[in-house]
Amino acid sequence: MTMGYRKVERPALGLAERLVFPAILKGMAITAAHLFEKKVTLQYPEEKHPLPEYYRGVPSLVKDEAGREKCVACSLCEFICPPRAITIVPEERPGGGREEKQPAVFDIDMLRCIFCGYCEEVCPEDAIYMSKEYEIVGRNREEMVFRKERLYEIGGVRPNPIRKWTNADDEAAAQHGHGQGG
Amino acid sequence: MTAAAPDRYDATSWRSPWPEWLPDFAFQALGIFLVLQIPPLLVTVLVWAERRVSAWMQDRLGPNRVGPFGLLQSVADLVKFIFKEDHVPGQAHGVLYTLAPALAMVPGLVAFSMLPFADRFMVSDLDSGLLLLLAISSLAVYGIQIGGWASNSKYALFGGVRASAQMISYELTLGLSAAAVVLLAGTLNLREIVRWQQDHAWTVAVFPAGTLAFVVFLTSAFAETNRLPFDLPEAESELAAGYHTEYASMKFALFFLGEYTAMVVMSGLMTTLFFGGWTLFGLERCFEGTLWQTVLQSGIWWAKTLFFLFVYIWVRWTLPRFRYDQLMRLGWKVFLPLSLGILLAAAGTRAWAFGG
């Protein structure tokens, strides 16, 4: 294959360009104009970039509008978690009724978490969500393991459109009431 | 004075309780204090200004956190420098390695003392002022050269060699363009040079000799102070950090201080030689004979000098670095003949326009 080539016409330098100084002054005019241009700096701790809706930050646990844990400690997120960042120890939920389990321990090791979002995808109870929190700091490894309390703090309350626990509670109350009454 | 009782309101009969030499001495002491304090203080502001202006020119904000407008940023940097480990590389030449930063800074401070801030305020008023000033400020090359050599690092050595070649080359044109001013004003005394400009015209306005001499002087001053576009001695993309690659802590800060003090001196020299020093279209004659006149004149002088310092920063963030052969070609093949021509033109101007 022969190499194609193209002859580049270089424009001859005019007097102003060969004297250099006029060109330098032109450049200085440009930089001087930029002095007064609007600055693009985002002043980080006070200002933050707007995050897209699909942003995946720290995985967090959420409560329903009545402040109840949604998590039933089914451990699906623990099983699917690719880097095995999640540790769940289930316990029996006091108070009877149809709800059976709750997590006694729910740790996410943020040193391991890869923010893949599988836990959110897999959760049958919509109890774990990827938050928009990304400022993850700790003074040691121990602090980087986020405990249940911290995860709830980050997640906050997310009302459940299905109102599953509410219905279950009503049901349980009805059953209970029926049993007592009978 | 007669034996008669002196009029108690007669000013001439009043005798100061202080010795006669004290006011002069106090004035000189104040001058020495200012000369030693102003450059380091100004350098901290300049480093801040350098970073802010560079940021603004790149549409950024720059350091704005420490203190009002980030003004204390340089102070914070200085504290950091002080607390850093004062590391000396293993194979460095102990004495020269320590001496070099001081050698780089002291000429700037000495040269600064010879600048005339106002008609009646200059710390050392010398008849050979300009000559001595150029001689002393050219000593700064020793600091850089010795620092580069004593570090025992190839990058530092290259930086030092480049610096000496560059500074010696451009000293020629710097001196020749200053000589044009000397020819015009007919004196080496910096105060007299300004007075000549007060009587006639700012040197930069004397076309073509003064104007061209200013252009040559400005460019040579950039090369003398190793500032962009001629900062080849510390070209960070080629030589790590050039002559101060191996320096740390306050020794590095002293090199910094030396570079910026040299900038202050060169800016002051440009003000004095070409832009009328403390004069400003007759404004300098206000408050004639009072202390306020000196204050006003110093203000004018500093305003002009600060403008030239801004130009230093402005040019730095506008132009890319020259190649070394371009630098040498510009110095020897363009500016040297040009400044010789300027010298001729200045002599002619002096002979015909200003009457011998």
Helix (H) or strand (E) holding B39: helix B22-57
**Do the beta carbons of residue A133 and residue A60 sit within 8 Å?**
yes
pLDDT in tens, B48-79: 999 999 999 998 888 888 888 888 888 888 88
Residue B238 tokens read as 């080629």
Query: Which residues 224-283 of B have a C-beta within 8 angstroms of A?
Result: none
ipTM confidence score: 0.74
- A&B contacts, CB < 8 Å: 37
Interval A61-78 mean pLDDT = 85
- Nearest residue of B to residue A34, measured between CA atoms: B57
pLDDT at A181: 39
pLDDT at A109: 92
Burial class (CB in 10 A: 0-12, 13-18, 19+), A166: middle
Chain A residues within an 8 Å CB radius of B61:
39, 41, 43
Mutate to test the interface with A, among B56, B219, B329 (most CBs of A within 10 A): B56
Question: How many Å apart are CA A58 and CA A154, to the nearest integer?
Answer: 8
pLDDT in tens, B230-289: 887 777 777 777 778 888 888 888 888 888 888 999 999 999 999 988 888 877 777 777
Do residue B59 and residue A43 have CB atoms under 8 angstroms apart?
A: no
In sequence order, what DSSP letters do the residues of chain A get, joined into one string? -PPP-----PPPP-HHHHT-HHHHHHHHHHHHHHHTSPP----TTTS-PPPPTT---SEEE-B-TTS-B------HHHHH-TT--EEEEEEEPTT-SS--EEEEEEEEETTT-----HHHHH-TTS-EEE-S------SSTGGGEE-HHHHHHHH-B---TT-HHHHHHHHHHHHHHHHHH-
pTM over 0.90, yes/no: no
B318 closest CB neighbour out of A21, A27, A40? A27
Checking if the pLDDT of A24 tops 90, the result is no
